């Protein structure tokens, strides 16, 4: 077998690539099964502008570095390419790269669509052929996945959501996961699932956040087509799929992107800009056009070939600032002397314009912890262009408050009222993610104070607070039934806990809150607008009671939410009404089916013309201990 001259690149492709504007590079780079001169085989293309030579090695040539050298294009693109006849799907391969430094290295294909099962590190010749059957979902996705619709996200790690009970060390395949995950998510009422990174990664304890195979579904769970099947099954049940995506850094594994052609090609050569001190990984060089083309092509690839409905972009703050996790004197600066990474900012803007410009009904979500302004503003208005941003300040303040013994909460009342002062400056998602239940932070249930009953009551009211606040929602797997252990990526969730009433009650609570959230327009229609929220009483610190209204475009849909964050039962508590009307309790975390005490308001509550909370009319009601209740107009 010899390497034949052949190319998938036009001059226009090359022009787009080197200008940072080619966003479908997966159609050109990598290994493509094709026919050339009536011969079936594989076309290879790889970017290695500073390499002295590049060849394809694999079982087919006994890994001989001299056997199949690729041809360097005669232009300035730095692309090596060629067609090798008679190669077939399933062959393993790498690139033997004789680098600028004279060192020969064996690299996996940056655009490979499949890799060997770790710890093996070779790429695999594969395709993305799949006959999709989710046209109905895609046609209604722009409406269902819009910002004025409910978004309740179930975040999960595929390797530890469930394991094979007969062989606990074995992770399930994408197909096996589909069989149990789809009915579970449907039953629980979540609208979205979010998969922690499913792109190929070598080091399992990284949870997928240190990627080597950006274009490959992890072979730990099966083939790309099996992942497509999982996504399709979710779509058939109107469940949207968000993928965690990591354009912020990558590991230094010898077979990966690092020092790819004997130079700092994908990473920045200045290690103040190119090395992450916390994660011991390498930061992409966003100033380089070809790197931006690579990353944006990768984002579009998952939306295009895998029909993903959104991307949650990891560690955005680390991309925006050179001094992230660095002392000021150890950090680089931009050309104006500031700490902002101008290349990363332009990359993120290009990314979001490309995503929203090419796909209908998708969302990008920034995991962003800084105060950078306008993360969710449109690019044309000076923003970064994301659809949503994680509300990290809300999450930190909320957990800090709930860890307090209820007797002391009156001294920290502002920690739950403060977030509303900035809640509408961005399109916020409220997250209780995997990061909050690892590394000694304890599980959600053990963050709560008190005895067993109080812990569960606290957690129920915490979730009710989240589901009734402005913003979309995210809950990590296991949180919905009060997993007691911290998350362990090596083992299944503790599903056996559901045989115990408190845990079953917690699961029922989350199921009921999803139903409430998705059926009441006041809870989602104006998630990102001041028009959707109104304080009725934000000042009763002595009793640790919070009362607010959630509003939609129709007054009849208005909800009143009351939180009692002490274990004291409050009888005949007067609440001012946003307008005159009869009110009924439509939800309470204190219901006995939820493992509550059953102190409910079961009768219709009639308005009295007695001023309270600055309003003309009011009602008297009983507020359960460590409970949340939701009122709506009734008959």
DSSP 379-442: GGGTS---SEEE-HHHHHHHHHHHTS-GGGGGGGTHHHHGGGGTTTSS-EEEEE-GGGGSTTS-
Residue-range domains of the chain with CATH: 11-124 (2.60.40.10), 154-259+288-341+352-523 (3.20.20.80), 531-633 (2.60.40.1180)
Per-residue pLDDT, 4: 87
pLDDT in tens, 384-439: 999 999 999 999 999 999 999 999 999 999 999 999 999 999 999 999 999 999 99
Pairing type for strands 240-245 and 545-550 reads unpaired
Alpha helices in 559-621 (DSSP H): none
Residue 536's contacts (CB-CB under 8 Å, 6 or more residues apart) are 547, 548, 549, 560, 575, 576, 578, 613, 615
First to last CA, the chain: 81
Buried b (16+ CB within 10 A) or exposed e, 577-601: bbeebebebebbbbbeebbbbebbb
The tally of CA atoms less than 13 A away on the side-chain side of residue 367 is 21
Residues in the chain with pLDDT < 50? none
- Catalytic one of 232, 244, 261, 314: 314
Distances (CA, A) of 448 to 406, 459, 460, 493: 10, 7, 10, 20
Pairing type for strands 281-282 and 275-276 reads antiparallel
Omega into 119 within 30° of 0, i.e. cis?
Answer: yes
Which H or E element spans position 402? helix 392-402
Distances (CA, A) of 38 to 86, 129, 203, 237, 333: 11, 21, 42, 43, 55
CB 217 within 8 A of CB 225: no
Secondary-structure percent of the chain, ordered helix, strand, coil, rounded to 5: 30, 25, 45
Per-residue pLDDT, 1: 65
- Catalytic one of 91, 233, 261, 367: 367
User: Is-catalytic flag, 367?
Assistant: yes
> How far is it, in rounded angstroms, from Cα 542 to Cα 143?
44
> How far is it, in rounded angstroms, from Cα 366 to Cα 317?
9
């Amino acid at each position: 077998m010899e390497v034949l001259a052949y190319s998938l690149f036009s001059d226009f492709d090359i022009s787009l690539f080197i200008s940072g504007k080619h966003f479908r590079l997966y159609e050109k780079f990598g290994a493509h099964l094709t026919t050339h001169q009536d011969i079936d085989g594989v076309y290879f293309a790889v970017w290695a502008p500073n390499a002295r030579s590049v060849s394809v090695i694999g079982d087919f040539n006994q890994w001989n570095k001299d056997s199949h050298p690729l041809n360097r294009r005669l232009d300035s693109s730095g692309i090596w390419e060629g067609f090798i006849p008679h190669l077939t799907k399933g062959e393993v391969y790498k690139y033997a790269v004789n680098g600028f430094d004279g060192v020969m290295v064996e690299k996996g294909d940056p655009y490979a669509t499949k890799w060997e099962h770790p710890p093996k590190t070779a790429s695999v010749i594969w395709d993305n052929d799949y006959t999709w059957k989710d046209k109905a979902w895609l046609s209604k996705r722009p409406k269902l996945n819009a910002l004025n619709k409910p978004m309740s996200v179930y975040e999960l790690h595929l390797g530890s959501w469930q394991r094979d009970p007969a062989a606990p060390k074995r992770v399930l395949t994408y197909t096996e996961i589909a069989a149990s995950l789809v009915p579970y998510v449907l039953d629980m009422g979540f609208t979205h699932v979010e998969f922690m990174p499913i792109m190929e990664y070598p080091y399992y304890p990284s949870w997928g956040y240190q990627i080597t195979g950006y274009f490959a579904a992890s072979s730990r769970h099966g083939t790309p087509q099996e992942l497509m099947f999982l996504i399709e099954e979710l779509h058939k049940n109107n469940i949207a799929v968000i993928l965690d995506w990591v354009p912020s850094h990558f590991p230094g594994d010898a077979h990966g992107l690092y020092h790819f052609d004997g130079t700092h090609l994908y990473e920045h050569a200045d290690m103040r800009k190119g090395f992450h001190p916390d994660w011991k990984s390498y930061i992409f060089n966003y100033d380089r056009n070809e790197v931006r083309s690579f990353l944006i092509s990768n984002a579009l690839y998952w939306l295009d070939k895998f029909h993903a409905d959104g991307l949650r972009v990891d560690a955005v703050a680390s991309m925006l600032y050179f001094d992230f996790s660095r002392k000021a004197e150890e950090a680089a600066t931009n050309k104006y002397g500031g700490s902002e990474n101008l290349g990363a900012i332009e990359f993120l803007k290009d990314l979001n314009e490309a995503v929203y410009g090419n796909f209908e009904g998708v969302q990008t979500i920034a995991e962003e912890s800084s105060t950078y302004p306008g993360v969710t503003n449109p690019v044309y208005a000076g923003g970064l262009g994301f659809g949503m941003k994680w509300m990290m300040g809300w999450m930190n303040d909320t957990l800090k408050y709930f860890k307090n013994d209820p007797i002391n909460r009156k001294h920290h009342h502002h920690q739950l009222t403060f977030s509303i002062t900035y809640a509408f400056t961005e399109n916020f998602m409220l997250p209780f993610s995997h990061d909050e239940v690892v590394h000694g932070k304890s599980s959600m249930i053990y963050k709560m104070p008190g005895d067993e009953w109080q812990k569960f009551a606290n957690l129920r009211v915490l979730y009710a607070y989240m589901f009734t606040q402005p913003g979309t929602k995210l809950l990590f797997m296991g949180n919905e039934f009060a997993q007691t252990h911290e998350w362990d990526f090596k083992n299944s969730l503790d599903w056996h806990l559901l045989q115990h009433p408190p845990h079953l009650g917690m699961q029922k609570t989350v199921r009921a809150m999803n139903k409430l959230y998705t059926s009441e327009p006041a809870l989602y229609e104006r998630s990102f607008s001041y028009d959707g929220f109104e304080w009725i009483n934000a000042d009763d610190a002595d009793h640790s009671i919070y009362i607010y209204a959630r509003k939609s475009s129709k007054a009849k849909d208005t909800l009143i939410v009351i939180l009692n964050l002490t274990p004291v039962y409050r009888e005949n508590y007067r609440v001012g009404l946003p307008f005159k009307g009869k009110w009924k309790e439509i939800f309470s975390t204190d219901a006995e089916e939820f493992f509550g005490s059953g102190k409910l308001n079961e009768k219709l509550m009639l308005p009295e013309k007695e001023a309270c909370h600055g309003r003309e009319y009011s009602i008297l009601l009983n507020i359960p201990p460590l409970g949340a209740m939701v009122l709506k107009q009734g008959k």
